[in-house]
Chains A and B, each alone.
Chain A
Amino acid sequence: LAKTTQPISMDSYEGQEVNITCSHNNIATNDYITWYQQFPSQGPRFIIQGYKTKVTNEVASLFIPADRKSSTLSLPRVSLSDTAVYYCLVVLSGSARQLTFGSGTQLTVLP
């Protein structure tokens, strides 16, 4: 499984756009990039998944360059409730026998 590297923590202010970058240099052809969000005392929650280029849903956007060695999770106009840990994962297509989490990025949104 490809290892992922992301910043340990980030701070932002309400209303700003937040971009969290993740590197996954050893990503394989059939791997997908997936992001989860976790609030304190809760289980992780799926945010978004992509393979290449750009994916957007009601919560976030995911940008993946052509070489797929990195990806950027973009959260538009964050609010205090977006304070959470964000995990970048690389997942083998159709498998998902297990998820391999790193330490994630602690995002703190300030008023």
Chain B
Amino acid sequence: DTGVSQNPRHKITKRGQNVTFRCDPISEHNRLYWYRQTLGQGPEFLTYFQNEAQLEKSRLLSDRFSAERPKGSFSTLEIQRTEQGDSAMYLCASSLDYGLAGVRSYNEQFFGPGTRLTVL
């Protein structure tokens, strides 16, 4: 299976601890996105990368959150000093940007299964 993978699938931590999640996108995809989803709501955008460059960050991404994609392949999302309000499903997605020369009108995002974070 060459889909998007995320690890771990579940993480339980105590308030104040740091956590790190990993996302492995589809190999040829140059865009990678992070979303957060709480119960009963749709996913909310956090940040995205074009190759290794982080191009956009949501206001939801507080100073305690940091994301990296050092070699333009996998990405990590770290949350420092976790709070109970950080409890959510963290979703990663990837897509292939065809650029100006591309013929597709939309670059579909492929989502991973998510990492469910519970902060006690």
A→B interface (CB under 8 Å): 32, 34, 41-46, 49, 51, 85, 87, 91, 93-94, 96-104
Contact = CB atoms under 8 A, between A and B. Distances in A.
What secondary structure prevails in chain A residues at the interface with B? loop
Contacts of B111: 42-45
A49 B92 CA distance: 21
Contacts, number: 67
Interface residues of B, number: 30
Interface of B: 4, 31, 33, 35, 40-45, 48, 55-56, 58, 91-93, 95, 102, 105-114, 116
A98 B42 contact: no
22 contacts: A41-B116, A42-B111, A42-B114, A43-B4, A43-B91, A43-B93, A43-B113, A43-B114, A49-B105, A49-B108, A51-B105, A93-B106, A94-B105, A94-B107, A96-B106, A96-B107, A96-B109, A97-B56, A98-B48, A103-B41, A103-B42, A104-B42
